[in-house]
Amino acid sequence: MKDRLEFILFISLSYLVRLFGLNISIKLSVLLAYLFFYLIPIRKETTIQNLSNAFPEKSSAEVKKIALNSYKSFCITLVEILIMPSFSREKIISLVDCPDKEMIIQKYNEGKGVILLSGHFGNWEYIAASVSAQINIPFSVVVKSQRNPFVTEWMNKARTNWINKVVPLGISIRQIFKELKEKNIVAMVADQRGPADGIRVNFFGRQVSVYPGPAILALKTGAPLIYGITIRQPDYSYHAILKEISAENLPANDEEKVIELSRRHTAFLEEIIRKHPEQWLWMHKRWKY
């Protein structure tokens, strides 16, 4: 019953966003950000602590300003996701400028599959939906199920509204491996905290646990690893940056290869976050252990 009630609220919010339209809803989302930051401070303490860890040189006032802007960014992303199912293919294509999309086509045509990584930055749902439609090649999007199964089903329908398909994270890494062996493009986010006993790399001057999956898949299949990030522009459109993570000059040891490749894609994410810290999702305990 709780899941159904939550889903009714979720759907109602989605219809309200559609009723108001994207531009008005984005402006109203700023009020939602103030609500969550000041009156119902969900994960505020975690956000501020993460930012203090990442930017020890910044004052308390500077950290709080970035934190508030991060809440604004998240609320904008939420509104954009809620209205996404109503978009035409032309609309979703128009929202993301991806000047380097030919890189994906080129790598795809090499016939080794492609691993397209992203992070919880800007609008991570848009890059998979828009870029795949632009190049007319479907992505197999690896997704983590939400706590609410009705929301999960709604999200997956939104993700597959144009050309993509979803691969549930819990289904087994074998399915993801199968997609790559069939020369498909697999898209996944790769910036959340890994297991306590996982491999560790440097992130903002501190060691953090990361998931080794992307690096392992790239090394086992020979699929190129491309990191894609959407940066929100002042007009609320997005500019996508793509970078192939080099697999050259890796250590001889297999475990060290995984660590080094993971370090390289994590370093690229950090480089982007430092330029636009307000657009990353700081609300999870990235430095929990």
User: What is the number of domains present in the chain?
Assistant: 1
Asked if residues 47 and 255 have their Cβ atoms less than 8 Å apart, the reply is: no
- Give the pTM: 0.93
Residue 241, domain extent: 2-279
Q: Looking at residue 104, what is its pLDDT?
A: 97
Q: Looking at residue 171, what is its pLDDT?
A: 60
Q: Which residues pair with 111 in a beta bridge?
A: none
Q: Looking at residue 170, what is its pLDDT?
A: 66
Write the CA distances from 168 to 47, 126, 129, 187, 235, integer angstroms: 28, 18, 17, 12, 33
Give the pLDDT confidence of 106-123 residue by residue, as tens digits: 999 999 999 999 999 999
Within a domain: residue 82? yes
Asked if residues 154 and 10 have their Cβ atoms less than 8 Å apart, the reply is: yes
Within a domain: residue 285? no
The one-letter amino acid code at 27 reads K
Whole-angstrom distance, CA of residue 196 vs CA of residue 209: 7
Q: Which residue has the tokens 């992130």?
A: 203
Within a domain: residue 288? no
Asked if residues 143 and 155 have their Cβ atoms less than 8 Å apart, the reply is: yes
Whole-angstrom distance, CA of residue 245 vs CA of residue 9: 41
What does pLDDT average to over the chain? 93
Selection from 73, 11, 29, 26 nearest residue 277 by Cα:
73
Give the pLDDT confidence of 200-217 residue by residue, as tens digits: 999 999 999 999 999 999
Give the chain's residues under pLDDT 70. 170-172
Within a domain: residue 284? no
Within a domain: residue 286? no
The one-letter amino acid code at 97 reads D
Within a domain: residue 289? no
Residue 100, Ramachandran bin (φ over 0: left; ψ between -120 and 50: alpha; else beta)? alpha
